Amino acid sequence: MSGKRSLIRSGTTVDQMVRAIGDRIVTGVLVPGEKLDEVSLAARFEVSRTPVREALGQLSAMGLVERRPNRGAIVAVVTQEHLTSMFESMAELEGICARFCAERMSGSERRALETEHQASARLVRLGAEEDYEYFNTEFHSRLYRGAHSTHIQELTAMTRSRLAPFRRAQFRLAGRLAKSWQEHDAIVTAILRGDGTAAGTAAKNHVSIVSEASAVFAVGERPKAASLAMPFTAS
Amino acid sequence: MSGKRSLIRSGTTVDQMVRAIGDRIVTGVLVPGEKLDEVSLAARFEVSRTPVREALGQLSAMGLVERRPNRGAIVAVVTQEHLTSMFESMAELEGICARFCAERMSGSERRALETEHQASARLVRLGAEEDYEYFNTEFHSRLYRGAHSTHIQELTAMTRSRLAPFRRAQFRLAGRLAKSWQEHDAIVTAILRGDGTAAGTAAKNHVSIVSEASAVFAVGERPKAASLAMPFTAS
DNA sequence: AAGGCAGAAAGTGTATGCAATTGCCTTTCA
DNA sequence: TGAAAGGCAATTGCATACACTTTCTGCCTT
């Protein structure tokens, strides 16, 4: 294989692998406990085992995959206890971000937050779950950025990505959209008011509620490595 | 090289490399900005480049080294802004840990914390900086464990290790030991009282003060890659 | 003399091969 | 018939080889 990397985009191959495999874990294509075979992955992405191994190493450091020495890698399987701990941490982290936002956001950041938030009200009325989910992600990212603290941002993003597999199903719950919007509203209002304490508390509560909604999906479902037989869809 | 790995202990080679290189970064043997040459490291540890590369990848994911595509790896160099952000995060994280400790520590944990803390008073009177530093590390670890939240523990430990290179010089400051002990005392008292809010505040202040003490060492010292010529001491 | 370009050297990125460990299956003995 | 031991297949871990990118050096041009 001396030719250019065919379908995978630019950047280093390993980086692409990390994103590709990580995405599939985060989006639930690869389920916790599923075996990650090096040769299969290498064949699937049309690269050699070396970049695959390096990618798995990085994903392991990120906590998304678990590596047993000499026994291969599996998608990280989290215990109920650890899951609770992660949600709890997420609540605290988002609380901190919201508090910092209330104290530090620039005028334009506040305006953008308010504008986007108000725009999303329409999605709630329409019941556009897909679109609202996209907005929701953007809303939270805005909160992380608005904290003006690169490290908090890193920690929050990391925790969020590790929680992603367990948060997907939450919007199926009836009335979730409206409730989510109201919670967002409380956060936005407090931030615009410059009330860090209230913003922090509101953000913490927001995550806590999501946590409860997601907890049910945590344990119980641990499919065997059935879906690996059919490699995931083309990138 | 078919023989057993000689000096490095058990476990996978990559893991040993991660620890070995990571230690040298954390302890300041390798200074920020220093070039990490793969072949030199491989030769130094008597392994091939493959495990070195994997170790660098993991260290990069941990944030201890910075990897420029096609341009080698260097010990992560943090900007003043990022350093401030990390200390700020550390303060928040320790605050959370202390708050959780006040709410969740078991009886034996509280007793152990109190006992060790009181024992350390002796070290302050003697001015035993080395021994106090060791105790100090243990004290903080106790706080992280006592929070009973594995993920918070991870985040805290990670942030702490990334801050380690910048925290070493703090105890040189006059009267630092006594002040540190008093701050610890405020934390311990609040925890034993079960006052989560007070414990959190006290822990946050504690880190903030350390932060200020360390900030001076942040920028200004950026030695060129001089010490790499002489490989670090035998492990 | 200064700037830029060409070629070589150094170093990283990826592929492949070999050794070693693991897990499973078969065989054998109680 | 069950269990334990040994061998075999599969997979991981590490080493080496090759390809490509970057950078340094020296020469040529202006």
Note the pLDDT tens digit of each residue in B61-93.
889 999 999 999 999 998 888 989 999 999 999
- 3-state class (DSSP) for residue A8: coil
- Cα torsion B5, B11, B12, B16 to 10°: value is -80
What nucleotide is nearest B67 when CA is compared to C1'?
C12
Greater confidence (A16 vs A232) lies with: A16
pLDDT at B4 over 90: no
The percentage of chain B sitting over the pLDDT mark of 70, rounded to a whole number, equals 83
Mean of pLDDT values over B131-136:
90
Cβ-Cβ contacts under 8 Å for A6 (sequence gap 6 or more): A46
Contact B57, B73 (CB under 8 A): no
Residue of B nearest to A83 (CA): B151
Coil, strand, or helix at residue B132?
A: helix
Nearest CA to the C1' of C12 belongs to which residue?
A: B70
Residue A9 φ then ψ, to 5°: -70, -160
Task: State the best of A89, A97, A103, A201 to mutate against chain B, taking most chain B CBs within 10 Å.
Answer: A89
In whole angstroms, give the CA distance from residue B101 to residue B131. Answer: 25
Section A119-133 average pLDDT: 90
User: pLDDT digit string (tens) for A148-207?
Assistant: 999 999 999 999 988 887 876 665 666 788 989 999 999 999 999 999 999 999 999 998
Tell me the residues of chain B between 64 and 83 that have a Cβ less than 8 Å away from chain A. Answer: 69, 81-82
- H helices of chain A, in order, are 13-26, 38-45, 49-62, 80-104, 107-126, 129-146, 150-167, 176-193, 196-215
* Whether B150 contacts chain A with CB within 8 A: yes
Q: Give residue B215's pLDDT band: very low, low, confident or very high (50, 70, 90).
A: low
Residue indicated by tokens 């990571």: B22
For residue A129, what pLDDT band results from cuts at 50, 70 and 90? confident
What b/e string do you get for B181-217 counting C-beta neighbours within 10 Å, with b at 16 or more? bebbebbbebbbeebbebbbbbbbbbbbbbbebbeeb
Helix (H) or strand (E) holding B35: strand B35-36
Q: What is the pLDDT, as a whole number, of residue A216?
A: 54
Picking from A15, A63, A150, the nearest residue to B85 by CB comes out as: A150
Q: Give the number of other CB atoms < 10 A from CB of residue A125.
A: 10
pLDDT tops 70 at residue B32: yes
Dig out the tokens for B224 from the structure.
């060129």
A96 touches chain B (CB under 8 A): yes
**Do the beta carbons of residue B41 and residue B51 sit within 8 Å?**
no
- How far apart are alpha carbons B105 and B146 in whole angstroms? 5
Query: B181 or B225: which carries more pLDDT confidence?
Result: B181
Helices A80-104, A176-193: crossing angle, 10 deg rounding:
40
Provide the 3-class DSSP secondary structure of residue A133.
helix
Q: How confident is the model at residue B214 (pLDDT cuts 50, 70, 90)?
A: low
Which helix (H) or strand (E) is A36 found in, with range? strand A35-36
Q: Is the pLDDT of residue A74 over 80?
A: yes
Distance CA B105, CA B187 (A): 13
A92/A107 Cα distance (integer angstroms): 25
For residue B93, the one-letter residue type is L
> Which chain A residues are within 8 Å of B50, Cβ to Cβ?
50
**Nearest alpha-carbon partner for A73 in A64, A85, A82:** A64
- Of A1-10, A221-230, B168-177, B219-228, which one has max mean pLDDT? B168-177
8 Å CB contact between A13 and A152: no
Gap from B89 CA to chain A (nearest CA, Å): 6
| B95, pLDDT greater than 60 | yes
Give yes or no for residue B105 having a pLDDT over 60.
Answer: yes
- pLDDT at position A215 is 59
Q: Model pTM?
A: 0.83
Residue B32 dihedral angles phi and psi, to the nearest 5°:
-50, 135
Percentage of chain A exceeding pLDDT 90? 58
Position B38 pLDDT exceeds 60? yes
Q: What are phi and psi of B73, to 5 degrees?
A: -115, 150
For testing the chain B interface, which of A82, A100, A151 should be mutated: the one with the most B CBs within 10 Å? A151
Q: In whole angstroms, what is the distance from residue A30 CA to residue B143 CA? A: 36
Q: How far apart are the first and last CA of chain A?
A: 19
CA distance B190 to B196: 7
The answer to whether residue A229 scores a pLDDT higher than 50 is: no
How crowded is residue A192: how many other Cβ atoms within 10 Å of its Cβ? 17
Q: What is the pLDDT of residue A45?
A: 92
